[in-house]
Structure formats: structure tokens, C-alpha cells
Structure 1
Amino acid sequence: MPPPLVSFKDHTPGQGQYRDSAVYRRWLEGTEGISPEEAQRRVETLVAERDTRIGHREIALGRLAELAAQGRARLLAHDPVTAAEIDVAVANGVAVAEFATTTGAARAARERGLRVVAGAPNVLRGGSHSGNVSAAELVAAGLVDGLSSDYLPSTPLAAALLLAARGIVPLPRAVALVTSGPAAVAGLADRGALVAGQRGDLAVVTVERGWPTVRTTVTAGDFAVPAGVGQ
């Protein structure tokens, strides 16, 4: 089995997903029902607290880099924004750019040999909820290896079919974004495609009124031979 996936991230306003801190402030206002002034104070507090602990980032990333070099962790860089951030990730043994927030970051990741993950909810929403690059745009540019469910587990299948229905990519490529692509992202070489010698995991899906429903699944475990049988 491959090593566990470890994603390192920093969601402090002013960088990454929330490089426009106003987006984070509006999120606080909406989810917590607080005033714009209180939300701004909260943002400033978060940034100030992060500044007092920023040194721990290098310590933690250094330890993760050691684990990656030892083959004990597969690292994902979360919400990269720039090519420079991708370079830092590569220097620390990162294998995957997770939710690149700009086309530039996704392209840099691809050029440096990293796998690229985008969010399936982003595809279904028609764009990022925090104003970052559209996942469909990255898919169309050939810069995505796999779609992640992110915060909504039901989205990958629907996102793949939507990409195909809109002609952004052919259906086989769209399906690969939620099968062989994620398998490669996770370092799983024994599954993700219907190839002799690999796991035979299948899902039977119907589409009614534009929305998919999984009718049944068949996994490799369904065909496991009990111990002692046939021996």
C-alpha cells in the first residue's frame, strides 16, 4: 500500500483560498451572523495570531519533507496560488497540488511533475465559492488529474457527467477524473481503470432529469475467494 496522504494548509485570511480577505470576512458575516466590523476584527486577530506562530510552519513542513523522503507520507500542497509556492512544495517532496487557486499555479504544478486536484463542487457551482479559478476552466486546459469531493461527498460523479454533457471534455476523460485520476493522485497503482490485473470496481449509474443515481456497485471484494476454497 502507498503511504498515507498528508495535506498541509493554511487558511488564514490574506493567502491561499482566502487571499482576498474580504471573502473570508463576508463568510464570517454570513455563517456567524456578525457585523462587518466584528468580522473585520476577527480577520485581523486571525492574521495577528498566525504571525506569532509562522515559524512553526517551517518546522512542520521540514518534518513532513523528511517523511516524504522516507516514503512514509505522500504530501499534498493545499491551495497553492503562485509558481513560487509550487517550487517550495516541490523542494519539500510534495507530490500533489490540491485545489490550485490560479491557472498559473496549476500550470506550474503540471510542468514540475505534480498531480493536480480540483474540486468537484467548484464544477457544479460553475466556479469557486471564494473567487478563485474555475475548476472547469482548469479541466478544459488539461490541467486537472482528479476531482475531489471536497466538502460534498456526492459531487464527483455529477461533476464528471456535467463536464461531459457541456462538451468540456469527452465522457471517458470526464470519468477518468473521478476514477483513474484520483487513484494516481493517491498513489494507488492497482485500481482506477478496467485493466487486466487491477481491481474490478464498477458502478452502475442512470441519469434522470440531468442528475445521476448510482443503482448498484460491484467491487473487487465482492469476488474475494474465501480462505481454503479451491486450494
Structure 2
Amino acid sequence: MPVEQILTHARVVTAEQEFVGTVVLRDGLIAQVEEGVSGLSQAIDLGGDYLLPGLVELHTDNLEKYMSPRPGVDWPSASAVLTHDAQIVSAGITTVFDALAIGDVNPRGKRMQQLPAMLEAIAAAATGGLLRADHRLHLRCELCHPDSLAVFRDLVEHPLVQLVSVMDHSPGQRQFAKEDKYREYYMGKYHLSEAEMDAFVKEQVANSLEFSDRHRRAIVEDCHTRGLSVASHDDATLAHVQESAGFGMSIAEFPTTLEAATASHALGLKVLMGAPNIVRGGSHSGNIAAAELARHEVLDILSSDYYPASLLQAAFMLAAQDNGYDLPRAIATVSRQPAHAAGLLDRGEIRVGLRADLLQAKVHEGQAVIQQVWRQANRVF
């Protein structure tokens, strides 16, 4: 890595404004941010492309598709992590919270069996200096699974764990307030028969009644003791939001209604929605559209969820829609806001003294195209 790099003739997007300017990188940090084009011979001309902060992803299940690329196929975990990492950084994501699901609601799923291998492979690749992005861990705790609390306590000690979310995907509430949508989703995804689905619904409802509240309280208490950020998931009502706020949660993941999102925002929880929701024009589950929350200016964070390339694309689309989000505010939903919500105050915007996590992108016919990515001033894509 050169001691100093000068990136010039770029459309620099800071947290407050965008301008044609120059950014100087030194010792892995942003050393200068100035308007105007540098005339120095060693300056790197970005040709008028956008220069943006590296993206911060709080919730992605992307690694799972490489661990199990086809039904019945278990891919070597070390290879899966490196392939996932390459896709993440090529999407402009320089900090990623890999979501590990605790408590598999899929009756034929292998998430629980894959957990140790996924965690160990991420940690080994990070220790070996093999990863291009900065990887952290996000434990997604399915509260109605009988083993969730025990597994959570086994994994939460890991030093890469920095974010925890608590969720209940049982039918009749939250994401699946309409049971027909629940049946459609799980029968289609897991190829269950009517009889298998009936038994599955009965089991999930019973487990939720037995475990959900008890597990939520215990997990959140553990997180606060350890100083970990905690997120709610799929809050749908004012009562859900008040409960989440009462537990001291800092992020509201995927609220399903305008009422829940508005209340979360008012109570200081950062409202996180899926970037695919913006790109596709709505929720695949039939819940509130992220664009609608943006029109009410209660959208704080975007997450790529299952499609890494959606993150940057959604930010540009958000800035082009009829709402209160100009480009700096839209870019903040995929950089500064998620970084701060996770307690990472050293990154997420182009500002002197912060980490030189950056990306160069151009927009062609509405499509954002990544050209280069830097992590701590080291080019990684």
C-alpha cells in the first residue's frame, strides 16, 4: 500500500454534500477532503466517477448460498467464505456483518449443523488475512426454537460477534400476520405437503408460546451485559415497538407496517429495510414498501439481505425518488447510519480522520457500476 494516494476529479459524496473534488489517503486513513481537481502528477484521475464511502452491511444471509449451493450439496466452508467475501467486496461492501441463523425454522434445514463450520471458516480466513472486506458476525436468534438460547450462549463469546437480532417467525403475527402468506412462503420454499405444513404450523405456534418471550428477555439481557448492539425484527404494532424500545434495542429490522416504522424512528431505533425491497418496488412478503417509509422520512438503514449488489443500487434509486433523501442522505443509509448503529464510529463517511474505506462507481443508464474498492486505503477490488 502506498504511503499516500491522491484520488482526484471525483464526484465526492460526503455525509452533507456532493462536489467535484480530491481525497487524499494516508496510512490507511482519509487525510484530506477538498473541492477541486488536483494538478499533481501522482494524483489518480477518477474521470468524474462517484467516490463514496465503503458500504456497511448489517444483515446478509449471502454466505449460506455458498455453503449449500444446491439441495443436498455441502460446499467446503473455507472456499464458501472466500467466494462470499469476493462477491461482497465487488458490491462495494467494505464492512459486513455475516448473519448466522440460530434456530432453523426449516424442518428440512441444515442451518444449525452449519453454524460451527461457518463461524470457524470466517474466523480462520480473517485471522489468516485472506478476506478483502472487514467481517463481523450477526447472530440471528429465532426465539421460538427450543435450542436458541443454549446455542446463542455458546456462540456469543466469539470476538467477531458484534450484533444480535431477535425474531419470531411463527404464523399469525409480525412478518406473517396472514397465515395464508406463511403457508405460501414455507410450502413453496421447503416443498412441504399440506399435511406436513399443518404439523409445521402447529409446532411453531406451540414453540412460540413456550419459548419466545423467555428467550427474548434472556438474550437481550446477555447482549446488554456484553455491550452488543441488539435489533428487533419484523415489529408490526405499536406494542411490538414499545417492547423493543423497552428492551433498549438500537435497530428495528424490517418493520412490517408504517405504524411500527414511524414509532421505531420516533423512539430512536434505527429503521432498517431491505435494499431488494427498493430495487424490486416492494416487499416479497406483502408488507410495507421501503419506498413508502422513505416518503415518510422514517427509513434509516438499507441492508442487502439476500442480494449484495442491491445495496448500492437501492441507494441511488432512493435518491432519485420523490422523498426527502438527496444523494448524501441516501448513501448514508448504506454507510454512516449502519456503521453508527453497530457502534463503528471510525468509518461510514468520507471525512478526515476516518478509515479510508471507499468505492469508485459510475452510473450507466440508472445502473450503479463499481469500478474500484479500497479498504483502509488498500485496493481490494
TM-score when normalising by structure 1: 0.86
1:177 to 304, 323, 333: 333
Shift of 1:29: 4.6
Partner of 2:83: none
Q: Is the 8 A contact 1:83 1:104 kept in 2?
A: yes
Q: Which residue of 1 aligns with 2:235?
A: 80
- Aligned pair count reads 219
| 1:134 is the counterpart of 2:292 | no
CA shift in 2, pair 1:155/1:186, >3 Å: same
Is there any run of 5+ residues in structure 1 with no aligned partner, and where?
224-231
Displacement after TM superposition at 1:199 (Å)? 1.1
Q: Structure 1 residue aligned with 2:224, among 64, 69, 75?
A: 69
CA–CA distance in structure 2, aligned partners of residues 174 and 26 of structure 1 = 33
* Deviation for aligned residue 1:58: 2.2
Partner of 1:51: 205
Unaligned 5+ runs, structure 2 = 1-158
Q: In 2, Cα distance between the equivalents of 1:88 and 1:166? A: 33
Alignment match, 1:4: 162
Partner of 2:151: none
Please state how far the C-alpha of 1:93 moved relative to its aligned partner. Answer: 2.4
Task: Determine which structure has the larger strand proportion and give its number.
Answer: 2
How far did 1:216 drift? Answer: 0.2
Cα separation, 2, equivalents of 1:133 and 1:191: 30
Report the equivalent of 1:165: 320
Give the aligned partner of residue 18 of structure 2: none
Report the CA distance between 1:2 and its aligned residue: 9.8
1:52 Cα deviation after fit = 2.8
Q: Is the 8 A contact 2:233 2:253 kept in 1?
A: yes
**Matches of 2:174 and 2:180 in 1, distance apart?**
13
| Match in the other structure for 2:33 | none
SS of residue matched to 1:16 = coil
- Structure having the larger proportion of residues in helix: 1
Distance in 2 of aligned mates of 1:28 and 1:2: 31
Residue in structure 2 matching 1:19, options 167, 170, 177: 177
Tell me how far apart the structure 1 counterparts of residues 181 and 235 of structure 2 sit (CA, whole Å). Answer: 17
- Where 2:372 maps in the other structure, the secondary structure is strand
Could you tell me which of 304, 326, 343 is aligned with 1:187?
A: 343
Root mean square deviation, CA, Å: 2.2
Q: CA deviation at 1:15?
A: 1.5
The percentage of aligned residue pairs carrying the same residue is 37
Bigger Cα displacement from structure 2, 107-116 vs 19-28? 19-28
Partner of 2:356: 200
More relative contact order in 1 or in 2 (CA 8 Å, sep 6+)? 2
| Max Rg structure | 2
* Cα deviation code 1:36-61 (max 9, x no counterpart): xx44x444423321333222222211
The whole-number CA distance in structure 2 between the counterparts of 1:107 and 1:128 is: 17
Letter in 2 for 1:48: K
43 and 72 in structure 1: CA distance in 2 versus 1, 3 angstrom threshold: farther
TM-score, structure 2 normalization: 0.54
User: In the alignment, what sits opposite 1:214?
Assistant: 370
What code does the residue aligned with 1:93 have? G
Structure 1 stretches of at least 4 aligned residues deviating more than 3 Å after TM superposition: 28-34, 41-44
> Separation in 1 of the partners of 2:319 and 2:345?
25
2:42 equivalent in structure 1 = none
**1-side partners of 2:351 and 2:257: how far apart?**
34
Q: Is the 8 A contact 2:233 2:255 kept in 1?
A: yes
Which residue of 1 is the match for residue 143 of structure 2? none
